[in-house]
Amino acid sequence: MRGRQVFMDSLMAHGVDKIFGNPGTTESPLLDSLQNYPEIEYIVALHEGIAVGAASFYAQASGKTPVVNLHVAPGLGNGIGMMYSALKANSHMIVTAGQQDNRLRLRAPVLGHDLVSMATPVTKWAVQVEWADEMAAVMHRAFKVANEAPAGPVFVALPINVMEQETENCAGASSQMYAAPHPDLDGIAAITEVVKTAQSPAVVVSDDIARAGATDDLVALVEAMGAGVWFEAIRHHSAFPNRHPNAKDILPVDAAAIRGALHDADLVMLIGGPFFEEVWFTRGAPFPDGSKVIQIEESPARLAYNHPLDAGLVGHLPSTLRAMAQALQADSGYQAQAKSRNTALASQSVEAHAAYQARAQRAWDRDPISMPRVMAELNAGTPDNAVVVEEAITASL
């Protein structure tokens, strides 16, 4: 069989159902193969940035691994900005680009370049398939690396001659992978003791919670702690229901301001980061002086990356948060304290909402129109099943 068949079989074996692309000559072997794979839809975008951005959002929304198909160096180059975004968003996806015949590599052919060097800064792994015999192995590893936590894009360059080369090495995918480890029970016990010493715990949450499907377990943990929940400023998902009485605000984007927002906390628990994606440099740590700092992550790479911790814990987030919640729920004395904090948080939430409404009402008839009224009018006029795409990041900070 040819390299391009192994490529397409690899996509099928890994559950790919969408290719987002903007192809040219070097992608013709892939295009020629599409008719034999009607399960895979090829969606053409008029600019590479759109193809990459659409794939990243498809990965986030569907959980499936999408493929992007770009055209040699200019096409890949046009996609680099959105590949950076996909890397920061931890989108599991495979970005491919056709490459000129690799027997031309020393002769700087038209549109050709060192594609792997171009893609390396914005991917978890970048590789060129140099002969058809390694197509199956490259694609198998590409899907593995893209999907491992923290997830992110992988780049694969596909020389046009390699796609047409013959090989006997078939595509393959691993089947049952048990890669969601339970946390260290000693860690659960030790961290539970630290948490119990806190009078005013704060939890800071980010996207990995939603991606791991751990929101329900997070709610149980937060209620068992009697903790307020803060949101990392840069996020793609809803990690915690923002109308829950324990929900506080989006954190600001510099260390001093974060420290100010969390000033009441004597313990800060970070879950599902990275923490923190700052915009401005300010001096000092983002935590109140003397507070304990705990972090819980799916991947060791996230843990203690930016800040020294008092304790850290790695584990599949649903089972880890559930184990933490159960350990705290088992202590009835602690639960009485947590319940009293939850009552106070609920009152604060009602007060904060009322204060916001009062501010909005005071400015209701202002000309030009106030932003709270804009939001209220939009809210009133929007059906319940509307999808809101928020791209007003600067205004929301």
What residue ranges bind its own copies (CB under 8 A)? 25, 48-49, 73-85, 100-101, 103-104, 106-111, 113-114, 117-118, 120-122, 161, 233-234, 253, 274, 276-281, 306, 394
**At closest approach, how far in Å is the CB of 167 from its own copies?**
19
Instruction: Report the nearest approach of its own copies to the CB of residue 76 (Å).
Output: 7
Give DSSP secondary structure letters for 128-148: E--SGGGHHHHHHHHHHHHHS
Q: Token digits for 37?
A: 């794979």
Q: Which two tokens stand for residue 312?
A: 């850290």
Cβ atoms of 158 and 98 within 8 Å: the answer is yes
Of 225 and 233, nearer to its own copies (C-beta) is 233
d(CA 104, CA 112): 9
Helix, strand or coil for residue 157?
Answer: strand
Element (H, E) at 230: strand 228-231
Q: Is 191 helix (H, G, I), strand (E, B) or coil?
A: helix
Nearer to its own copies, 56 or 342 (CB): 56
User: By three-state DSSP, how is residue 66 classified?
Assistant: coil
Measure CA of the first residue to CA of the last residue in the chain; give whole Å.
Answer: 54
DSSP-assigned letter for residue 288: -
Shortest distance (Å) from residue 328 CB to its own copies:
31
- Kindly tell me which of 74 and 241 has the beta carbon lying closer to its own copies: 74
Of 49 and 241, nearer to its own copies (C-beta) is 49
Tell me how far, at minimum, the Cβ of 24 lies from its own copies, in Å.
9
Cα(266)–Cα(293) distance, integer angstroms: 9
Q: How many CB atoms lie within 10 A of CB 368?
A: 6
Query: Tokens 């890669």 correspond to what residue?
Result: 179
Closest approach, Cβ 171 to its own copies, in A, equals 26
Of the pair 20, 334, the CB lying nearest its own copies is at 20
Our CB check for its own copies shows the closer of 243 and 283 to be 283
Shortest Å distance, C-beta 94 to its own copies: 18
Would you say 2 or 316 has its CB closer to its own copies? 2
Evaluate the CA torsion angle 50, 56, 62, 64 in order and state its sign: positive
Question: Rounded to the nearest whole angstrom, what is the least distance from the CB of residue 241 to its own copies in the complex?
Answer: 25
**Cis omega (within 30 of 0) on the bond before 121?**
no
